[in-house]
Amino acid sequence: MIGQSLNDLWYGFGIALQPHNLMWSFFGVLVGNLIGVLPGMGALTAISMLLPLTYTMHPVPAILMLAGIFYGSQYGGAIGAILLNMPSHPPHAVTCLDGYPMTKAGKGGTALGITMIASFFAASFGIMVMIFASPLLVQIAFKFGPTEIFSIMLLGLLAGATMARGSPLKGVAITVVGLLIGIVGTDVNSGVQRFTYGIPELSDKVELVALALGMFGVADFLRSVNRTQFVGSETKVRLRDMRPSKAELKQAFFPMVRGTLIGTLFGAMPGTGPTITTFIAYAFERRVSKTPERFGHGALEGVAAPEAASHSKTQVDFIPTMSLGIPGDAVMALILGALLIQGIQPGPQLITEHADLFWGLIASFWVGNILLVILNVPLIGLWVKLLQVPFRYMYPAALFFIAVGVYSTNNSLFEIYEVLLFGVAGAILLALDFPVAPILLGYVLGPLVEENFRRALLLSRGDLTVFVTRPISAAFIGLCTLLILAQIFFAVRATMRKRREGLDAAAPPLSNVPGIE
C-alpha cells in the first residue's frame, strides 16, 4: 500500500509541476504570503475574493491556488507577529509573545529562520500523514451513503458549534443563524422556495462569497476603522541573520516536534480552530519546559512550537475536508464550497474519482512550501514596507476588490447588497463578542445535514433506525452523543466548582450566594 501511495505521489508531482498548475500555485502562495502580512486581511478574505475567478478555471489549478493562499498566509502571519508585534491573524498572536522580544533583542532574523524551518518540517509531516492516511479512507469509500454522511456532518456541526472560542451559548446561537441562512433558497426535495420573500435571486441560496466577504472582510474593516495603528519598524533582516546556530537548532528541535504532533492531532479533529491549536502548543511547551520563566522574554521554543503546530494543522485540515466533506474551520468550509461549485463532491470517493486533483494538491503542498521558503527571504523587507501603507489607502482598495469579486459571481448587483448587509451584520456581531466563523460552518453544513437526512429516510422508506443499524453511521452518532455528554459534564462541573468556591469565599453572608434568597 505504501508503494501505491508513493506511486500516486509521483503522479501527483507530474500534475503539480505542469507549468499551468505551477503558475497558479505560485500565484496562490504569493497572494497568501502578502495577505498574511497585512492586518485584518486573512486567508479567508483572500480566498473569498479569488473564489469567483475559479468558476471558469479547471478544478485542479483552482484548488491548488486556493490551498496555496491558505498555507501561504501562515508564513506571512508569522512575519508581522515577530517583526512588528502585530498579529495579523489570531493564530499568530501567540507568536508575538516571544517573537517580538527576540526582535527587540536583535534576534528577529533567528526567530524568522527558526519559524521557517519549523514550518517546513511541520508542513512536510502533515503532508506525509495525508499521504498515508488517505488510502485507508479509499478502502471504505463506497460504504459512505447518505446515512453515513448525515452522521458525520452532524458530528462536524456539533464540534464546530461547541468548540468555538468564548461563550458556548453564543457559539451555538451563531451556528443556528448560519443554519437559517443556509436554508434560504429552493428546497431540493420538494422544490419549495424557503425564506426567499419572492426575490428570484434568493431562490439559489444566499451567495457563499457574499456571506464570507461580508462577515469576515467588510465586518473587519468596519471594526478596525480608526483603531489600527501602524508601527513603523526599522528592522532590516538579512539572509545571514536568519541562519540559526547549532545550539539554537538543538534548542528548537523538540518544541518543533511536539508542536507538529499537536497540530496534526487538532487538524484531524474537525471543529477545532487554528487559534486554539497554537495556544495549546505554546501552553504545552511552557509546561514541559525546565525554565518556564524565560517564556514571554524571547524564548525560542515559544516561537517554534506554535508555528509548527499551525502549519501541520493547516495541512492535516485537508484530510477531513477532502475525504469526509467536513471542514475543520471557516477557511476549509470555503474550500469545501469551492469544490462543490466545481461539481466535485468531497468524500471518500474523491481520492479515486478525482485522483489528479487529490494527488496534485498533495504534491503542490510540497512545491508550494519550498517556493515559500525561497520567496520569504527576498520578500520580507518588502512586506515590512507594505505594512507602513496607511489605512486610508489600503482598506478602501480592499473594499473595492471585494465589490468587484462579489459582483462577478453572478454578474449582478444583488450580491453587492448582500455583502453590504452581511458586513454591517458582521460588524454588529463582532461588537457584541459573537464568534462569526460558526455562521459559515452552519451555512455550509446545515443544508448538507438536512439533504442527507431526508435522502437517507427516503432510501430507508422512513425507517429512522438506519442511523444506528449501519455500523459506520452508528459510530459517528455515538461520538456525537459523547460530545454532548462531555459538554454537559464540563458545564455542570464548572458551575459546581464556581458554586463551591462561591460558598467558601462568601461563607458568612449567606444571602450573597446566587440561588439562595
Give the binding site for other proteins (CB under 8 A): 55-56, 142-146, 186, 188-193, 198, 200-201, 203-204, 343, 345, 347, 349, 353, 410-412, 451, 455, 458-459, 461
Distance (Å, whole) CA 89 – CA 82: 13
**Min CB(477)–other proteins separation in Å:** 19
Task: CB nearer to other proteins: give 223 or 454.
Answer: 454
CB 351, CB 323: distance < 8 Å: yes
Distance (Å, whole) CA 352 – CA 354: 6
**Min CB(456)–other proteins separation in Å:** 9
Distance (Å, whole) CA 80 – CA 85: 6
Question: Residue 186 in 3-state DSSP?
Answer: strand
Task: CB nearer to other proteins: give 23 or 188.
Answer: 188
**Min CB(337)–other proteins separation in Å:** 13
Distance (Å, whole) CA 498 – CA 55: 53
**Min CB(449)–other proteins separation in Å:** 14
**Min CB(257)–other proteins separation in Å:** 38
**Min CB(59)–other proteins separation in Å:** 10
Instruction: Tell me how crowded residue 481 is: count the other CB atoms within 10 A of its CB.
Output: 11
Task: CB nearer to other proteins: give 215 or 448.
Answer: 448
**Min CB(353)–other proteins separation in Å:** 8
**Min CB(161)–other proteins separation in Å:** 24
The DSSP secondary structure of 432-498, one letter per residue, reads: TT--SHHHHHHHHHHHHHHHHHHHHHHHTTT-TTHHHHSHHHHHHHHHHHHHHHHHHHHHHHHHHHH
Q: Write the CB contacts of 448 (distance below 8 Å, at least 6 apart in sequence).
A: 149, 153, 325
Residue whose C-alpha cell reads 469509500 in the numeric block: 141
Instruction: Tell me how crowded residue 103 is: count the other CB atoms within 10 A of its CB.
Output: 23
Task: CB nearer to other proteins: give 7 or 189.
Answer: 189
Long-range contacts of 336-342 (CB under 8 A, 24+ apart): 336/444, 337/51, 337/208, 337/444, 338/47, 338/51, 338/54, 338/62, 338/63, 338/66, 339/59, 339/63, 341/51, 341/54, 341/55, 341/208, 342/54, 342/59, 342/62, 342/63
**Min CB(55)–other proteins separation in Å:** 6
CB 233, CB 84: distance < 8 Å: yes
Count Cα atoms within 13 angstroms, Cβ side, for 246: 0
Task: CB nearer to other proteins: give 241 or 451.
Answer: 451
**Min CB(19)–other proteins separation in Å:** 22
Task: CB nearer to other proteins: give 204 or 433.
Answer: 204
**Min CB(478)–other proteins separation in Å:** 23
**Min CB(455)–other proteins separation in Å:** 6
Task: CB nearer to other proteins: give 51 or 102.
Answer: 51
DSSP assignment letter at 230: P
Distance (Å, whole) CA 135 – CA 482: 28
Task: CB nearer to other proteins: give 90 or 145.
Answer: 145
The DSSP secondary structure of 257-316, one letter per residue, reads: HHHHHHHHHHHHSTT--HHHHHHHHHHHHHHH-S-GGGTTS--THHHHHHHHHHHHHHHH
**Min CB(136)–other proteins separation in Å:** 18
Distance (Å, whole) CA 441 – CA 328: 9
Which among 123, 39, 47, 25 has a CA at the least distance from the CA of 81? 39
CB 17, CB 367: distance < 8 Å: yes
Task: CB nearer to other proteins: give 50 or 305.
Answer: 50
The DSSP secondary structure of 141-157, one letter per residue, reads: GGG--HHHHHHHHHHHH
Q: Give the cell for residue 492.
A: 455542570
Task: CB nearer to other proteins: give 133 or 141.
Answer: 141
Task: CB nearer to other proteins: give 190 or 229.
Answer: 190
Task: CB nearer to other proteins: give 195 or 489.
Answer: 195
Task: CB nearer to other proteins: give 268 or 355.
Answer: 355
